[in-house]
Amino acid sequence: MYILSFLARRLPPQDDGSVSGSLVEIPDLIDNGNSIDQLKNRLAIQLKEYAEDYYHDFKRYYHANNRSQHLPIILQTLIQDDLHGVIQLIDA
């Protein structure tokens, strides 16, 4: 199973105690949550949406210089049955 590196670039805690982070392999996906679990959930939603966009416009994404290396992550994301499966891919 391909495990996504999660929160390797975690930002310092916010003044309100929330946490922010991004996926190492796809640094464009960044979010904030009240807890690590909420952050993982929000990033999983973004990852699922990105994977669907990538799939539907494959030619554009795959041939972009900084996006072709995302393909293994996209495929692993797309084969998950539900959002819980995507969350499980994220190593926190």
What pLDDT sits at residue 6?
53
| Structural domain total, the chain | 1
Q: pTM score, two decimals?
A: 0.86
Residue with the two structure tokens 């922010």: 20
User: Residue 13: which domain range?
Assistant: 4-91
Q: Which two tokens stand for residue 64?
A: 């972009």
Q: Which of 53, 15, 16, 9 is nearest to 31 (CA)?
A: 9
What pLDDT sits at residue 8?
46
Mean pLDDT for the chain? 87
Listing DSSP states for 37-69 in one string gives: HHHHHHHHHHHHHHHHHHHHTHHHHHTSTTTGG
pLDDT at residue 7 tops 90? no
Question: Average of pLDDT values for 63-90?
Answer: 93
CATH number for the domain that contains residue 13: 3.30.160.620
